[in-house]
Structure 1
């Protein structure tokens, strides 16, 4: 560190006082600076490692959630394909039976849509309670909407939507350029689900009568059941999603027309699902291995460690994950109990899983274990749920690694404070030593000047004596 006060050589003494100050300051600073730098590098590496591991755990949890999805279920033993998805789409469950089914859609299930009588744009709406009824007889359901004074069609529409939209009933306004009608729609399909209104004179609608030019009523047609046939047998359904007609098979009626639905063993789908789990698990393990690995020289001596080498929390996480891999499946009377029956084994030296497709195919074709795979993975206490529970203590805003991150960040701030304090102390020390050596240099300079003067005087006296 160059002195901010003295040049490289003392003007008075001729001694390099800057080098002396630099050496003294360096001797004072180096031990503490080395400690701070070492701790800061370790802290920074640990923060990065915890962040990487947290991201890997989040990715693993996302993969588990995808495999547990109820809307796009994985591990289905059977697959259903439709010859024409413009008319019918289908999904098979684990209770399905292989076969083909001819489905002809005659008409789709429809919902109720009604409109009020024509009203002038400036028509005042009577205050009170509007009753909206759906269905009739024992199945009728009534909803009420409060209509305040000074209401307009727009405010009535908004009141209905804010009150009943969650019930599947919505309102809008249609204007023909002269008059307006309040239009009510329902998402509930099937016969006897028609809407009607009462309670407000201007908005009374008989949902069983067709709308006319001057009166309200249903638009186009009453709500109706879907009509279709399965292998020639006539059936109806209140919904366009049918899950009771064929055991283990759910199909959606899309439009009038014919399609053949084929149900067969879902070999490819099951293999893809199992491979997805194996890949997700292996990606997490590989990340952990990278963050905990050690490097040895040719003699087996440790030369380098990763940021989380020997970390107790990581060891606990790995232990929890590995334990879940060997827990036998519970529930049911099936033969499939452990992952090894599907060709999934922990035989890799790095702890990752190996997936043997030959063993897996044999489990499906020879041992007929396909229908049991979903229970092994997706039961309430299946592998996916247990894995989620195993990593839960380590993730989240109050998890183990989140707490570690907070501690590391606090340490980082402490080290920054220590560095700032050291810099101030070194600056003050440099100034103090420079002042002292500057004073010394000035004193030496004066002494040298005095000595030079005395020498000159004696030389002059000697010269005068010699000349006399």
Structure 2
């Protein structure tokens, strides 16, 4: 807030009134202004520090999430490769064993699709009200059909009620305008055929194929009944309810895409190999992400010297216990035993903590020696990803930093307190500015009043002096 304009030299007294008032006001303001300025600078630095630390932790958390992805894990102990991806894909877990497998896909698993008898009136054909029952694998799914329903509204009712169960419906209309209700399921495998009952005109036995060019009155399975997938692995016959085949080969999942071509059918070769190179790259990524976080924490905590090397400049968290607690929580995860098995701690993989910097260092030579042990690649995957969703290193590390970065967590709480302090300091500054304005006005008024009085006294004195000078002059003349 601006101070009022001060007069320069007092006309009556000759004093530098503006300078006197400014000096008195500054003397009164100085201590409090210094306090507010210093606290504001420190508080602003801390707000910035909280933001920087949260960003660093969020980036580290994202790195952990990416490394621990279940769909494309960075710590796969083995890599499974299909020689013919158009026929099948392959993935492996930490229980896999290196080797090659010859796979022939005889047929894919299919799902049930059934059609009703045709309705000459098309999609607007009237459907009786009641409860439509769709049965599959011994489970009944009921759909309420209200009064005044049509074939189209019945389709919509099925989709609304049964979408979560993988059951959907649509209408197919032929060139003559006759329509059939077609109901499909996402469940594959023999025995998953749909049966529909409960509403006249919509009774369908999905175990009976309709065949080609069916009469208008016929209903049943479209394109045949649901079947299991059939394949051979190294000549051994395997069936599966799904086109995702698990358990046939330990640690290996086959994703069937199409039937093997040719007569006899050509086999696809699946190769499972240890993923030593990929694991080394992923461990280095983990180490780099960890060290980046530690660098940020240290930068925000360690005091530095000014340009002249004389004064110590505090960082945002200098002397603050939060970074120490955070580092302690993170390092406790690094030293805690893993998810079980022969691989228990990071040091067995050549990852050590530098005692001077606190950073991690990765000795790839030591890692190579460890990986020479049979089965160790699967143990690395288990160590980082765990045997469940909680006991892997990545999950435990993520849990350790969650209290700091989560919404309403420790950093959010700290930021709220600092923002409140910022508002309080702003209020204090406004109050001080108002005090300065008022004090300046008060002192200026007092000194101006004094100057006026002094001027009046000088005028009186001058009058008296002039009077006596006149008397003396008259006496001299007489």
Cα displacement (A) at 1:288: 0.5
Of the structure 1 ranges 391-400 and 108-117, higher mean CA displacement relative to structure 2 is found in: 391-400
Structure-2 residue corresponding to 1:253: 256
Query: Does 2:129 align with 1:127?
Result: yes
Match of 1:163 among 156, 161, 164: 161
Query: Which segment is superposed worse, 65-74 or 305-314?
Result: 65-74
State the shift of 1:92 in Å. Answer: 1.6
Q: Distance in 2 between matches of 1:149 and 1:452?
A: 116
Which position in structure 1 is the counterpart of 2:199? 200
What's the counterpart of residue 430 of structure 1? 440
Counterpart of 2:314 (choices 296, 305, 315) is 305
Q: For structure 2, which runs of at least 5 residues remain unmatched after alignment?
A: 261-266
2:360 matched to 1:361? no
Relative to structure 2, which stretch is displaced further, 412-421 or 377-386? Answer: 377-386
SS at the partner of 2:60?
helix
Deviates more, 1:422-431 or 1:296-305: 296-305
State how far apart, in whole Å, the 2-side matches of 1:182 and 1:453 are: 122
Find the aligned partners of 1:166 and 1:74 in 2 and give their Cα distance: 32
TM-score normalised over the length of structure 1: 0.90
Task: Give, in whole Å, the separation in 2 of the partners of 1:443 and 1:182.
Answer: 108
Residue matched to 2:403 = 393
Contact 1:3 1:21 in 2 (8 A): no
Q: Is the 8 A contact 2:90 2:252 kept in 1?
A: yes
In the alignment, structure 1 residue 324 sits paired with structure 2 residue 333: yes
**Alpha carbon RMSD of aligned pairs, Å?**
2.7
Give the aligned partner of residue 47 of structure 1: 47
Determine helix, strand or coil for the equivalent of 1:220.
coil
2:2·2:437 contact (CA, 8 Å) conserved in 1? no
Task: Give secondary structure in 2 for the equivalent of 1:79.
Answer: strand
| Pairwise CA distance, 1:318 | 1.0
Q: CA deviation at 1:307?
A: 1.0
Write the mapping of 1:59-458 to structure 2, written as runs, cut at 5 A.
59-119=59-119, 120=121, 121-134=123-136, 139-176=137-174, 178-207=177-206, 208-210=208-210, 212=214, 214=216, 215-257=218-260, 258-296=267-305, 303-329=312-338, 331-332=340-341, 334=342, 336-347=343-354, 349-366=356-373, 369-379=376-386, 380-458=390-468
Provide the rounded CA distance (Å) in 1 between the counterparts of 2:417 and 2:47.
10
1:269, CA displacement in angstroms? 1.8
CA contact (8 A) 1:210 1:216 kept: yes
Aligned residues of 1:3 and 1:434 also touching (Cα < 8 A): no
Aligned counterparts of 2:412 and 2:2: Cα–Cα separation in 1: 44
Deviations 1:43-100 (A, max 9, x none): 1211221222122222222322333332223422211111222221111222222221
3-state SS in 2 of match to 1:397: coil
Tell me which moved more, 35-44 or 361-370: 361-370
Offset, 1:5: 4.1
Deviates more, 1:6-15 or 1:305-314: 6-15
1:360: Cα distance to partner? Answer: 1.1
Preserved CA contact (<8 Å) 2:49 2:316: yes
Specify the SS of the correspondent of 1:182.
strand
Distance 1:181 1:9, change over 3 A: farther
Bigger Cα displacement from structure 2, 352-361 vs 398-407: 398-407
**Counterparts of 1:99 and 1:2, CA distance in 2:** 83
Kindly state the Cα deviation for residue 35 of structure 1 after the two structures are TM-superposed. Answer: 0.7
Confirm or deny: 8 A CA contact 2:78 2:275 kept in the other structure: yes
After TM superposition, give the deviation of residue 17 of structure 1 in Å.
1.4
Q: Provide the rounded CA distance (Å) in 2 between the counterparts of 1:342 and 1:146.
A: 61
SS at match of 2:149: coil
> Residues 170-209 of structure 1: CA distance to partner in whole angstroms, max 9, x if unpaired?
2233445734433222111122212221111132223223
Q: For residue 201 of structure 1, give the secondary structure of its aligned residue in structure 2.
A: coil
Does the 8 Å CA contact 2:130/2:199 hold for their aligned counterparts?
A: yes
Maintained 8 Å contact 1:3/1:22: no
Distance in 1 (CA, whole Å) between partners of 2:405 and 2:242 is 41
Q: Do the aligned residues in 2 keep the contact of 1:61 with 1:388 (CA within 8 Å)? A: yes
Gaps of 5+ in 1: none
Question: Deviation of residue 31 (structure 1)?
Answer: 0.9
Confirm or deny: 8 A CA contact 1:348 1:354 kept in the other structure: no
Q: What displacement does 1:168 show?
A: 0.9
Given that 2:209 and 2:223 are in contact with CA atoms closer than 8 Å, whether structure 1 keeps it comes out as no
Post-superposition offset of 1:455: 4.6
CA contact (8 A) 2:209 2:221 kept: yes
| Alpha-carbon distance between aligned partners in 2 of 1:172 and 1:448, rounded to the nearest angstrom | 110
Task: Describe the shift of the 1:9–1:47 C-alpha distance in structure 2 as closer, same or farther (beyond 3 A).
Answer: same
Query: How far is 1:299 from its partner?
Result: 12
